[in-house]
Structure 1
Amino acid sequence: MSVLVAIPARYASTRYPGKPLVPLTGATGIARSLVERSWRAACGVAGVDKVVVATDDDRIRAACETFGAEVVMTSPDCANGTERCAEAHAALGGGYDIVVNLQGDAPLTPHWFVEDLVAGLRADPAAGIATPVLRCDGAALNGFLDDRRNGRVGGTTAVFGADHGALYFSKEVIPYTADAYADTDDTPVFHHVGVYAYRPDALDAYPGWQVGPLETLEGLEQLRFLENGRRVLCVEVEARNRQFWELNNPEDVPRLERMMAEMGLE
C-alpha cells in the first residue's frame, strides 16, 4: 500500500503567527526551522513513498526549497491541516492508499509513531482515519494541568473505547482525575499525538462536511469525523523513553529545545 506523508504548514496561525519558520536549536547548536525539523522527522519514517510540505505561503515555500523539500501549494481557504492534506493529495493526482498528516508543529514525532499508525489503519478496514495516543506519565500530565491552570492551551487528550474507537478529543484534560501522580507513574490520561493517517475516501469526504459544534468549540479538526459518524481508530504508541511535545505556544520553544538537548538531537 502506497503512503504519502503531507506536512501542512500555515503561516497565519492564530495562536502563533509564523510558527513554521520559528528556529529551534538542537543539541549541537544548529538552528533549524520548525517545518524543516518536521520534514526531517517525516523523511525518517520507513515505508513512505513520498513526503511533501503543503502550504499556501510563499515564505514557507521558499524556506522549504532551501533544504530540499517538495512543496505543494494549496489554497489559503483550507480551514485546517486535514483539508490541506486533502487538497495536496488531489493536486498530486491521488492514487495513494494511505495519506499521513504529520502536522508541522510536531518535530519530535518518533518514526515508530507513524509506522505503528499506518500499520494500525491497515489492520482495521472499518476505520477511515487513525491517530496515535500516548499514555501520559505523571510529568506529562502535570505539564498539561499546569498549562490549563495558567490559561494556556497545551496538548490535546483523547478518550476511546475498548475497541480503540475514539469517543472524544479535547483541549481540556480528560478523563477527570483527582489523583496525584509521581513523574514516573502511568496515568489514565492519553495525550493525542498530532498525526493522522487517512484512507482516501474518508479524506476526500472531509472537506464537504459542514463544521460541527464540537469542532467549533474545541478547535480540533478530527472531531469532524466523529460528528459525521466516521470511526476514528486510536493507536496506542510507546514513548520508548523518548520525550514528545508539540509547539503550540511561544513558551514551548525552550521546552522543545531542552528536550532536543537532553535527547542529543541535532
Structure 2
Amino acid sequence: MSVLIAIPARYASTRYPGKPLVALTGANGTATTLIERSWRAACSVRGVDKVVVATDDDRIRDVAESFGAEVVMTSESCGNGTERCTEAHEVLGGGFEIVVNLQGDAPLTPHWFVEDLISGLRAAPDAGVATPVLRCDGDALNSLLNDRKHDRVGGTTAVFASDHSAMYFSKEVVPFTAQTYAGAEPTPVFHHVGVYAYRPDALAAYPGWPAGPLEQLEGLEQLRFMENDRKVLCVEVEAKGRQFWELNNPQDVPKIEEMMAAMGLD
C-alpha cells in the first residue's frame, strides 16, 4: 500500500508568521529550521514511498530544497494543511493509497507515532481519516492548563468513543477534571498529535465542504470531517519515554529546545 507524507508549510501563520523557518537549537548546539526538523522526522518513518514539503512560499521552498527536500508548490488559496495536502496529492498525479499530513510544527514527532497511525487506518476500513492521540501525564496536562490560564492557544485535546472514533477535538482542555496530577502520573486527558492519515476519497472530498461552525470556532481542520459525518479514528500512541510538544507560539521555542536537550536530540 503506497504511502505519501506531505508536510504542509505556510509562511503567513496568523499566530506565528514565518514559523517554518524558525531555528531550533538541538542538544549539540546546532540550530536547524523547524521545516528541516519536521522533514527529518518524516524521513525517519518506515514504509513510506515519498516525502514532500507542500508550500506556497518561495522562501520555504528555497530553504527546503537547500537541505534536499522535494517540494510541491501549492496555491495560496489553501485554507489549511488538509487542503494543501489535497492539492499536493493532485499535483503529484494521485495514486497513493494513504496520504499522511505531518504538519510542519511537530519536529518532536517520533517515527512510531506515524507508523502506528498508518497501521491503525489500514486496520479500520470504515474510517477515512485517522489521527494519533497521546495520553497526557501530569506534566503535560499542567502545561496545557498553563497555556490556557495565560490565554495562549497551545495544544489540542481529543475525546473519543469506545471504538476510538473521535467525539470532539478542542483547544480547550477536555474532558474537565477537578483532580490534580503531577509528574508522570497518567491523566484522563489526551493530547491530539497534529498528524493525519487520509484515504484518498476522504481527502478529495474535503475541499468541497464549507468550513462548519465548529471548525471556525475552534480553528481545527479535522472537525470538518466530523461535521460532514466522516469517521475520524483516534489511534492511541505511546511516548516510550519521549517528550512531545508542538510549536504553536514563540513561547514554545525554549520549551522544545529544553526537551531536545533532555532527550539528546541534535
- The alignment's TM-score, normalised by the length of structure 1, stands at 1.00
1:157 equivalent in structure 2:
157
CA deviations on 1:167-212 (whole Å, 9 max, x unpaired) are: 0000000000010112121000000000000000000000000110
**What amino acid sits opposite 2:146 in the alignment?**
D
Distance 2:263 2:176 in 1: 31
Distance 1:182 1:122 in 2: 36
Shift of 1:148: 0.2
Show the 5 A alignment for 1:158-237. 158-237=158-237
Distance 1:215 1:55 in 2: 22
Distance 2:233 2:95 in 1: 22
Distance 2:264 2:257 in 1: 10
Distance 1:68 1:178 in 2: 48
CA RMSD after TM alignment: 0.3
Distance 2:238 2:158 in 1: 15
1:18 equivalent in structure 2:
18
1:79 equivalent in structure 2:
79
Shift of 1:264: 0.5
User: 4+ residue stretches of structure 1 with deviation over 6 A?
Assistant: none
CA deviations on 1:21-53 (whole Å, 9 max, x unpaired) are: 000000001111000000000000000000000
Distance 2:76 2:210 in 1: 18
1:97 equivalent in structure 2:
97
1:27 equivalent in structure 2:
27
**What amino acid sits opposite 1:215 in the alignment?**
E
Distance 2:250 2:112 in 1: 27
Distance 1:154 1:179 in 2: 21
**What amino acid sits opposite 1:232 in the alignment?**
V
Aligned residues: 266
Distance 1:240 1:4 in 2: 25
Ranges in structure 2 where 5+ consecutive residues have no aligned partner: none
Partner SS, residue 158 of structure 1: strand
CA deviations on 1:42-65 (whole Å, 9 max, x unpaired) are: 000000000000000000000001
Ranges in structure 1 where 5+ consecutive residues have no aligned partner: none
Distance 2:66 2:265 in 1: 21
1:240 equivalent in structure 2:
240
2:48 equivalent in structure 1:
48
Shift of 1:97: 0.3
**What amino acid sits opposite 1:7 in the alignment?**
I
* Aligned residues with identical type, % of pairs: 77
> Does residue 108 in structure 1 map to residue 84 in structure 2?
no
Distance 2:54 2:179 in 1: 42
> Does residue 7 in structure 1 map to residue 27 in structure 2?
no
Distance 1:245 1:159 in 2: 19
**What amino acid sits opposite 2:108 in the alignment?**
L
